[in-house]
Amino acid sequence: MQIFFTQEFIDEVTLISKANSHSDCELSLIHSIFNKNIDEIKNTGTKRLGGDPNKNPFLRKRIETSNSGKSSGYRLYLWVFYFENNIYLLYIHPKTGRRSGTNLTPEKQKELVKTFKENRDNNTFIRTELNNKNKIVNAITKEEIF
């Protein structure tokens, strides 16, 4: 399974992680996405927002923080493409705190679909992986992302 980020996603995680209460954002992503298989990601704590459920669902996923559980965790918006075995992480926000938010508006969901298509058409998604220090890195340059 390959995991891709948009630059917007990276920027948002970077901002979220600056708050002490959300400094575990990268660890939460590793636990909820990088350490799971594609079916576990799709079937645990998700709601489908669009796309074909059997081919390419657009999902909202609850992910827990390392110390507080799902109630004060994050909402993650992602697109799963089964035939490619790819996951595209598009947006994240904490459920509590200064940068918290409610569910995305239909307008923001449409914006994410547009962002996905633009990144795909322009080949600007950033492929990621875990390094031997359990940090998320750019799969090509091997530079740590967060």
pLDDT tens, position by position, 26-45 = 999 999 999 999 989 988 87
CATH, residue 41: 3.30.2310.20
User: What six digits make up the tokens of 64?
Assistant: 């827990």
- What does the pLDDT look like over 121-135, one tens digit per residue? 999 999 999 999 999
- What does the pLDDT look like over 45-68, one tens digit per residue? 788 888 888 888 889 898 887 666
Cβ contact 3:49 at 8 Å = no
Instruction: Note whether residue 143 is domain-resident.
Output: no
Per DSSP, what are the bridge partners of residue 93? 75
Q: How would you classify the pairing of strands 2-5 and 126-130?
A: antiparallel
pLDDT range class, residue 20, cuts 50, 70, 90:
confident
Instruction: Note whether residue 145 is domain-resident.
Output: no
Predicted local distance difference test score (pLDDT) of residue 49 = 84
Structure pTM?
Answer: 0.89
Per DSSP, what are the bridge partners of residue 48? 59
| Number of domains the chain contains | 1
Average pLDDT over residues 103-114: 88
Instruction: Note whether residue 60 is domain-resident.
Output: yes
- The H-assigned helical ranges of the chain are 7-17, 25-29, 38-43, 106-122
